[in-house]
Amino acid sequence: MIELAPRHKFGLPIASPVMPAAGAFGYGDTYHDLVDLRVLGALVTNPMSLTPREAARGRRIAIHGEHFVAHTGLPNPGVRRVLQQYRQTWERLPIPVIVHLIATTPAETAQAAERLSGVPNVVGIELGVVDNVTPQRALNLLDAARADGDLPVIVRVPFTGVDALAPLLADHGADALTLTAPPRAVLPASDAPEDSEARRYLRGRLYGPALFPLLLNVLARWCSKLPVPVIACGGIASLQDATACLELGATALQVDALLWRDPLILQRIAEGLAKFETSTISE
């Protein structure tokens, strides 16, 4: 077993280091007919907030080659409705559930964490903070997530905030860190000529293979310095990518938007790592 929260009183053990990233795998009902969930470590849910959020208006995706930016607004029906709809689904899953919670205000974060405590098979919270969060605000949100709930709290750190936030959050009580949330980027949102007034640009979160070397740089700089487990996330697209993350010190990993095109990549990586571990043990 792999322990994602060694400092927490209950811990957060998972059987495999491989998980879907928040927003890539739904709430547990989207890909269950395609992917053998039993080979995964946990389900990381779509982002949810205490209260409902509407989708962003206008164009939401801009594509450039193998990369794209997405601006969705993180729509969701809110914690209460999600629990009403998916509580029984989560309870029946063969793997534990980590809820990705959008950190809005400390008060709302505390209420949401309290509602998630005691939900069958929910074993942890992954806290998502905004890119421009200040260190003090991040600590306040972490305290709120831990105050009224008893679940381990993983914080997904913004790509541009790793240096300022990762050591601070680890020392302040985060049980693990996800490095990192997709960075912000801008891409043309139409195929109009560059000099056309009709050309528009979309700002959103960036996904694609270019993130992977950036992820490895973050892992190489920080894994050995942090006192908590690190979950690698960003551009992982193969068994070789996953192995590199683990070799650099990550405890687990998340596969993100590639799942929308090839959901079975998650299973192939998990099964490949399991075979490698088995062969290593037998030697």
Task: Say if 220 falls within a structural domain.
Answer: yes
How does pLDDT run across 172-205, given as a tens digit for each residue?
Answer: 999 999 999 999 999 988 655 555 545 688 999 9
Residue 239 structure tokens: 């068994």
Task: Say if 64 falls within a structural domain.
Answer: no
In angstroms, the CA 211 to CA 143 distance is 30
Task: Say if 25 falls within a structural domain.
Answer: yes
Residue 150 CA, chain-centre distance (Å), reads 20
How does pLDDT run across 93-113, given as a tens digit for each residue?
Answer: 999 999 999 999 999 999 999
Strands 61-64 and 67-70 come out as: antiparallel
pLDDT of residue 277: 67
pLDDT at 240 over 90: yes
Partnered with residue 98 across adjacent β-strands are: 44, 124
pLDDT of residue 141: 98
Task: Say if 40 falls within a structural domain.
Answer: yes
Task: Say if 190 falls within a structural domain.
Answer: no
In angstroms, the CA 277 to CA 73 distance is 39
In angstroms, the CA 166 to CA 100 distance is 18
Query: Which long-range contacts (C-beta less than 8 Å, at least 24 apart) are formed by 215-224?
Result: 215/179, 215/180, 215/245, 216/244, 216/245, 216/248, 218/159, 218/162, 218/179, 218/180, 219/179, 219/245, 219/248, 219/249, 219/250, 220/248, 222/162, 222/166, 222/179, 223/248, 223/249, 223/250, 224/249
Q: Which residue has the higher pLDDT, 1 or 280?
A: 1
In angstroms, the CA 49 to CA 102 distance is 5
In angstroms, the CA 257 to CA 237 distance is 10
Task: Say if 200 falls within a structural domain.
Answer: no
Q: How confident is the model at residue 57 (pLDDT cuts 50, 70, 90)?
A: confident
Q: How confident is the model at residue 282 (pLDDT cuts 50, 70, 90)?
A: very low
**Contact between 83 and 111 (Cβ < 8 Å):** no
pLDDT of residue 196: 54
**Contact between 61 and 70 (Cβ < 8 Å):** yes
Task: Say if 157 falls within a structural domain.
Answer: yes
Residue with tokens 């998972």: 14
Number of domains into which the chain is organized? 1
pLDDT at 122 over 50: yes
Task: Say if 195 falls within a structural domain.
Answer: no
The whole-number average pLDDT for the span 78-93 is 96
- C-alpha torsion angle, residues 122, 171, 254, 269 (rounded to 10): -100
- Sheet containing 201-207, strands listed edge to edge, beginning at the edge strand earlier in sequence: 61-64, 67-70, 201-207, 184-188
pLDDT at 26 over 60: yes
Q: Please provide the average confidence, as pLDDT, over all residues in the chain.
A: 92
Q: What is the CA radius of gyration of the chain?
A: 18
The whole-number average pLDDT for the span 20-48 is 93
User: Which structural domain, as residue segments, surrounds residue 215?
Assistant: 2-55+74-185+206-282
The whole-number average pLDDT for the span 49-76 is 91
Q: How confident is the model at residue 31 (pLDDT cuts 50, 70, 90)?
A: confident
* CATH number of the domain residue 18 falls in: 3.20.20.70
How does pLDDT run across 218-230, given as a tens digit for each residue?
Answer: 999 999 999 999 9
pTM (two decimals): 0.94
Would you call 157 helix, strand, or coil by DSSP? Answer: strand
What percentage of the chain reaches a pLDDT higher than 70?
94
**Contact between 228 and 175 (Cβ < 8 Å):** yes
The whole-number average pLDDT for the span 270-283 is 70
Q: How confident is the model at residue 283 (pLDDT cuts 50, 70, 90)?
A: very low
- Quote helix, strand, coil % in the chain, to nearest 5: 35, 25, 40
pLDDT of residue 29: 84
